[in-house]
Amino acid sequence: MTHTGTASIVIVGGGAVGCGVAHSLAAAGYDDILLIEKEPTLAAATTSQAAGLVGQVRNSLDRTRLAMWSVETFSDLESGDTARPGWRQVGSLRLALCDERVEEFRRMQDVANQAGLETRFLDNHEAAALWPAMRFDEVRAVLWCPTDGYLQPSDLAMAYVARARRAGVRFQTGTAVQRILVDDDRVTGVETSGGRVSSPMVINAAGAHAWHLAHSVGIELPIVPVRHEFFVTVAAEGLVPELPVIRIPDATLYLRAETDSLLCGGWEPTSLSLDPNEYPIDGQAPPVREDWDVLATFAEQLAPQFPQVSQLGIRSVFRGWPTFTPDGRFIIGESNRLKGFVMAGGCNAHGVSGSAGIGRHVVESIGDNPSSYVASLSPDRFTDSEWNWTEASAQARGVYEHYYSIDH
């Protein structure tokens, strides 16, 4: 195998997470970084099929802070003089349709207050003024976060790339990582379709192929690709880009304007996952076929609040394989089984929206004094315990299926 070079850090995976990690490392002063992506272009897989919603209101203080850091980064990128992520800080409305959900919103507001995140409850008339085409007569409560919004996922990846390139990060596309090179329980580089790269650190941000990369060096992690899909309608009157993002957790739905169209997706009650053994490390994940029954259910669930949806044709369907973990938490940090092997995966549908915060956590994890929260995200929590794939994949699907469950 031809030796093609060296790098202090190799990042595998050129989606929003990998590019966000590259940006964060460069911003923290790391240099001689090489990102390798097997597709001919960056952000070509799961990132290109993401909805781009960014929400900071969470049930956990740590996750709220991560999302807030991401929003701060998106605003900074949008104000830059190079590529921009298409960040629109239009705010978000969370709609409660039952009393139990109202109480959850109050608990979420308490967490937001601790984090210094602005939120407030709106009455239905105030909410209707923000989304005139939406019906709020059956809504029990509306929680407003003015600093939420949405962006264009592929544009976000390219904004990270522009900043990282300026700082000296190298990007190599159309190159598949075939295996990680190891000597005496330490990473020494990667072997790719284009040759060998020597490096003491490899960061695994390979998305639906992250399992393969870890498995190739004997590190077994429950990183489960789960199908997710959403639709975009034809143009409709009253839909403009300035409308807030809406989440209706009791209907398991989210929506936003996409220019003059409606983007709507949700969380399926019976999900579909992949076994990564079914496709190779240097190949494609199986294609995701549109499930029109599921998409029709999304539209039906939305109709009480947005009756117009039943009259709108679907212009396009987006679908991909975001990865989930059994405990619903990221896998970030170096493995105690292999020096220099660092994880940045298992994002549980927060890969795009949380990418800046994930990058920051990766930087912290390889530093001298990571916080107890970042330390708790280590892959060691799985490699140091017993688990089996059947149970772990079922639990990961459960994380997906209960994404909007109360206090989830």
Q: Band the pLDDT of 160: cuts 50, 70, 90.
A: very high
Predicted confidence at residue 330, as pLDDT, reads: 98
Q: Where are the domains of the chain?
A: 3-49+154-224+325-401, 87-149+227-319
Q: What is the pLDDT of residues 80-99, one digit of tens each?
A: 888 999 999 999 999 999 99
Residue 80, C-beta contacts closer than 8 angstroms, at least 6 positions apart: 159, 162, 163
pTM (two decimals): 0.96
Q: Band the pLDDT of 1: cuts 50, 70, 90.
A: low
Predicted confidence at residue 300, as pLDDT, reads: 96
pLDDT value at 2 more than 70: no
Predicted confidence at residue 274, as pLDDT, reads: 94
pLDDT value at 25 more than 80: yes
pLDDT value at 238 more than 70: yes
Distance of alpha carbon 293 from alpha carbon 274, whole angstroms: 20
Q: What is the pLDDT of residues 165-176, one digit of tens each?
A: 999 999 999 999
Predicted confidence at residue 407, as pLDDT, reads: 82
In words, the CATH class of domain 3-49+154-224+325-401 is alpha beta
Strand 195-198 versus strand 3-6 pairing type: parallel
Mean pLDDT, range 203-210, rounded to an integer:
96
Residue with tokens 């990582």: 177
**Using an 8 Å Cβ cutoff, are 377 and 332 in contact?**
yes
pLDDT value at 59 more than 60: yes
Q: Band the pLDDT of 50: cuts 50, 70, 90.
A: very high
Distance of alpha carbon 272 from alpha carbon 83, whole angstroms: 35
Percent of all residues in the chain with a pLDDT value above 90, rounded to a whole number: 94
Distance of alpha carbon 261 from alpha carbon 135, whole angstroms: 18
User: Mean pLDDT over all residues of the chain?
Assistant: 95
Nearest to 228 by CA among 403, 66, 44: 403
Residue 386, C-beta contacts closer than 8 angstroms, at least 6 positions apart: none
Q: What is the pLDDT of residues 351-397, one digit of tens each?
A: 999 999 999 999 999 999 999 999 999 999 999 999 999 999 999 99
Q: What is the pLDDT of residues 325-359, one digit of tens each?
A: 999 999 999 999 999 999 999 999 999 999 999 99
Predicted confidence at residue 283, as pLDDT, reads: 80
Predicted confidence at residue 136, as pLDDT, reads: 97
87-149+227-319 has which fold? D-Amino Acid Oxidase; Chain A, domain 2 (3.30.9)
Q: Name the packing angle between helices 16-27 and 153-166 (round to 10°).
A: 30
Q: What is the pLDDT of residues 102-136, one digit of tens each?
A: 999 999 999 999 999 999 999 999 999 999 999 99
Percent of all residues in the chain with a pLDDT value above 70, rounded to a whole number: 99
